[in-house]
Structure 1
Amino acid sequence: MSAAHSFHPTILREYDIRGIVGETLFAADAEAIGRAFGTLVVRNQGRMVCVGYDGRLSSPELEAALVRGLVSTGLEVRRVGRGPTPMLYYAAQTMAADGGIMVTGSHNPPTHNGFKMVFGGKPFFAGQIQELGRLNGSGDLEMRSGGTSAEVSVRDDYLERLLHDYDGIRPLTVVWDAGNGASGEMMAALAARLPGRHVLLNEVIDGRFPAHHPDPTEPENLEQLIKAVAEAKAEVGIAFDGDGDRIGLVDAKGRILWGDQMMMLLAEDVLRERPGAMILADVKASKSLFDHIAALGGRPEMCRTGHSLIKTRMAETGAPLAGEMSGHIFFADRYYGYDDALYAAVRFLSLIARWTGQTLADRYDALPQVFNTPELRIDCPDERKFAVVAEVKERLVTSGDDVCCVDGVRVSSADGWWLLRASNTQAVLVARCESTTEAGLARLKQILAGQLEPSGLVLG
């Protein structure tokens, strides 16, 4: 038995651990996470864990504390150093590690940090994360001698693996934006090895994120990239989030391709090689994506939102490709089934560079034109958000509409569809509406507002 340790109640989340450094997350928490995670690995007859960290100013201290905790359980710890989260996933996969932990705050503000984990080659989330709290609260931890830590570089191997699947034909002009996030160095190394002309933005890792926030799902964070694409007369611009597991894409005309639009193009590529394959997308994706996959002869499946949930479902179904609106793209086709934005970039550039007589902008023009809202976020207390969704679901029983309850409620009608779900990571409800007409979109938003009102909420 070890001394008990309690975490701030907000940091043990559904898909990862996340907090504000010095307020809700401390080095002592990192060490406690290492002890509890190591305990689970040891009790599962494991021996070795890989650890990496992102470019945040607080990450080196948290990584060192995490390693101390892991070593105290008798494990061998391989420290792969600073880089993107997918590099840690790659290390854990190729070294056949019993577990892996990435110290990262992902796309959150500079003062935030946290941990993403894999265990036995699978995502570590939900109840498993809560178990870390239980073990520390009870002091039910392994304390063993013989633990070791060593620095191990996988950078060169990871770079070669990324390059391995590039099969473009014509050279491209590409602008890359790492947003000063953890993918910067690997992005620069990758661009240097690819054919064509490459312009790099914010490739220097800087945990203060001086240029813009590293979240490619927010249009304002892509303004610098869009301007640089125009100046360079580039065919494509690629952006990464803070830890390199989410991708953003813009065409030569400065138009943003959202997650479901990216998936339409990638699905064509994958289904050409794997006819009839299942392809997964989250519940926030456009109906046109699911229709497009079906029209190509694929089998679309709508999944709950959340990278851990989608990776788990991919493993269950054998699906070669999956994606989220947030820019997580998962390849099991020629790759390992996790979300790696650098690898997704390689596959995109390969696809674009094999097109003859058409550009990414041409393909954007040919995509289905729909009218939709961005992701709408409605403030709602954590203790209330799931109840509100349940109330709306109950009211919909008599609506006569087609209601899908995979994740919250997604309601289809003649006008299109609308979605309401509870966020697993924030005190908000997430909503989205989509129609083939502007008038239809207005009607859907009115219906959604009408469903929220009896639960005491207003659609902003």
Structure 2
Amino acid sequence: MSNNHFFNKNILRAYDIRGEFGNTLNNIDAERLGNIFASSFSQKQKVIIVCRDGRLSSPELVENLKKGLYESGADVIDIGLGPSPMLYFAAHYLKSDGAIMVTGSHNPPNHNGFKIMRGKIPFFGKDILDIGEKARNGEWNYRLGSKEDYFISDKYIDVLLKSIKLDKFNKSLKVAWDPGNGAAGDIISKIVNLLPGEHTLVNENIDGMFPSHHPDPTDPKNLEQLINLVIDKKLDIGLAFDGDGDRLGVVSSSGNIVWGDQLLAFLSKEVLCDMPNSPIIADVKASQNLFQEIEKLGGVPVMWKTGHSFIKSKMKEISSPLAGEMSGHIFFADRYLGYDDGIYAALRVLELINDKFTLDNFLNSLPKTYSTQEIKIKCSDDKKFRVIEELYSILNNEKIKVNRIDGLRIEKEDGWWLLRASNTQAVLVARIEAKSKKSLKDFQKELNFYLNKFNLSLT
């Protein structure tokens, strides 16, 4: 048996491990991850929970992961097929030493990966890079542990429902749910039978080929089916989920998409009524409207790095009751456990919808701005971080003030633009927001001018 292992360098990401199955990611990677993670605990007895999404490669990856964990001394608890938040819940409920989710999240069907927790804390950044180094050095032990299966989905559903105010639900509410053939389908199918109102499900069957549309609710084309359903049936709201159920997409009764920062603003009102002066965290891609709205509601807006692991860690650090990202990750520590759970976020939205407080009314109350959605600019993993550093030097020499929390965010009186390196894809991510159409075009020209210096462009 070889004493070392070499992961493809591109799969060890900032907050998870992710690659193309059969190409950059394989079953031996899963086994070695299990060996190294189990061996990283100082105590002899360690309980590690595993769960998987519905991708076609997930069953064999999870079996090889379990093999590695077991062979290196872990007591492995397999909770089966389910969404990532069910694993996060299990880690809290069973007080495990670690937890690993096998999921490709919203990436293409032939991709897969691993999200890791140590205790109740995300395992990311340097910890993930250290896995690569330990693999190269053969730093893992062999000592048999144990394996068992554990059925936890009913307990998870029970806690979800106990953590909301069912008496506040509008009993005439008409809701469409689209799990996108992802791992949340079975849980959502059970939950809707326990809720007041009228509920319509589409794409609830778990299918790793995602036959109806890709399970990424940040892409408008993936919401077209849901929008048409909401409008045709005159429903009050549509709810969409990504492949592993930790992100939420929302559609209003008139078919408007409610973006992640707008959703966070919508949810902030009640949280800040109950917990005034609390810090509310949003990622660096969020609208300036959100930060102003949080301040207006009596909260303390906090801008932070994009990435679920970064946000969860920051929440714990500053005792924030609520956080969110443009990507649809919503994190509740208010009445819940402080992690991103698309299903729980959906239930909290439904608590607030009534005849007087609709999503459309709320959207119309926000200041009018003009913005792009995320613009993804193809850029190799080797080049993308270099572009950010070199562009910062250019902007600094031009005496332009730069927010460097995550990438480069340039804020001016009439708007802002952002350029950052994605931690999950070989792309640079840009976003622009302005108070007028003219300013939006001016910002686009300005950003393009800088991108052209690196033979890149917005289009």
TM-score, reference length from structure 2:
0.97
How much does 1:407 deviate?
A: 0.9
Secondary structure of the structure 1 residue equivalent to 2:402: strand
Measured in 2, the distance between the counterparts of 1:455 and 1:48 equals 48
CA deviations on 1:93-127 (whole Å, 9 max, x unpaired) are 11110000001010111111111010021001111
Q: Does 1:179 align with 2:177?
A: no
Task: Provide the rounded CA distance (Å) in 1 between the counterparts of 2:4 and 2:399.
Answer: 53
For the 8 Å contact 1:2–1:141, the answer to whether it is kept is no
Verify the 8 A CA contact 1:99 1:120 in the aligned structure 2. Answer: yes
Look up the match of 1:395. 394
* 1:11 corresponding residue in structure 2: 11
Contact 1:78 1:152 (8 Å CA) reproduced? yes
Q: Distance in 1 between matches of 2:421 and 2:58?
A: 30
Give the share of equivalent positions with the same residue, in percent.
Answer: 49
AA partner of residue 346 (structure 2): A
Taking a change above 3 Å as real, the CA distance of residues 2 and 99 of structure 1, as seen in their structure-2 partners, is farther
Counterpart residue number, 1:459: 458
Question: Aligned residue for 1:151?
Answer: 149
Range with greater deviation from structure 2 (45-54 or 116-125): 45-54
The residue correspondences of 1:58-457 to structure 2 (distance < 5 A) are 58-145=57-144, 147-167=145-165, 168-171=168-171, 172-352=173-353, 355-399=354-398, 401-457=400-456
C-alpha contact 2:330 2:342 (8 A) present in aligned 1 = yes
Distance 1:206 1:375, change over 3 A: same
**Contact kept? 1:4, 1:138, Cα under 8 Å:** yes
Task: Please say if residues 214 and 241 of structure 1, whose CA atoms lie closer than 8 Å, have aligned partners that are also in contact.
Answer: yes
Amino acid across the alignment from 1:395: I
Give 2:205's aligned amino acid.
V
Cα distance in 2 for partners of 1:396, 1:46 equals: 52
How far residue 15 of structure 1 moved from its aligned partner, in angstroms, is: 1.0
Could you give the per-residue CA deviations for residues 278-330 of structure 1, whole angstroms, max 9, x where no partner exists? 00000000001001101111000100111111111111111111100000111
Between the aligned partners of 2:408 and 2:378, the Cα distance in structure 1 is 17
- C-alpha separation between the residues in 2 aligned to 1:52 and 1:323? 24
CA distance in 1, matches of 2:359, 2:156: 27
2:453 aligned counterpart, secondary structure: helix
Partners in 1 of 2:272 and 2:453 — Cα distance? 45
Structure 1 contact 401–412 (Cα < 8 Å) conserved: no
Farther-moved stretch of structure 1 (231-240 vs 393-402) = 393-402
What are the superposed Cα offsets for residues 426-450 of structure 1, whole Å, 9 maximum, x if unpaired?
A: 2211111101110110111111111
Structure 1 position 400, deviation (Å)? 5.0
Amino acid at match of 2:374: E
Task: Verify the 8 A CA contact 1:415 1:436 in the aligned structure 2.
Answer: yes
Give the direction of change, closer, same or farther, for the CA distance of 1:235–1:384 in structure 2 (3 Å limit). Answer: same
How many equivalent residue pairs? 456
**Structure 2: which amino acid aligns with 1:199?**
T
Secondary structure (helix, strand or coil) at the match of 1:397 reads helix
The offset of 1:175, in angstroms, is: 0.0
**What letter corresponds to residue 440 of structure 2 in structure 1?**
L
Q: Runs of 4+ in structure 1 displaced over 4 angstroms? A: 398-401
Task: Assess if the C-alpha contact under 8 Å between 2:99 and 2:118 holds in 1.
Answer: yes
| Aligned residue in 1 for 2:47 | 48
> Counterpart of 1:78 in 2: which secondary structure?
strand
Q: Deviations over 1:65-84 (max 9, x none)?
A: 11111001121111100000
| Distance (Å, rounded) in 1 between the aligned partners of 2:250 and 2:7 | 38
2:134 and 2:294 map into 1 onto residues whose CA distance is 44
Query: Secondary structure of the equivalent of 2:117?
Result: strand
SS of 1:404's partner is coil
* Secondary structure of the corresponding residue to residue 159 of structure 2: helix
How well do the aligned residues superpose, as a CA RMSD in angstroms?
1.4
Task: For residue 45 of structure 1, report the CA deviation from its aligned partner.
Answer: 5.5
In structure 2, give the amino acid aligned to 1:19.
G
Q: Give the direction of change, closer, same or farther, for the CA distance of 1:356–1:27 in structure 2 (3 Å limit).
A: same
**Cα deviations across residues 119-138 of structure 1 (Å, max 9, x unaligned)?**
02100111111222222221
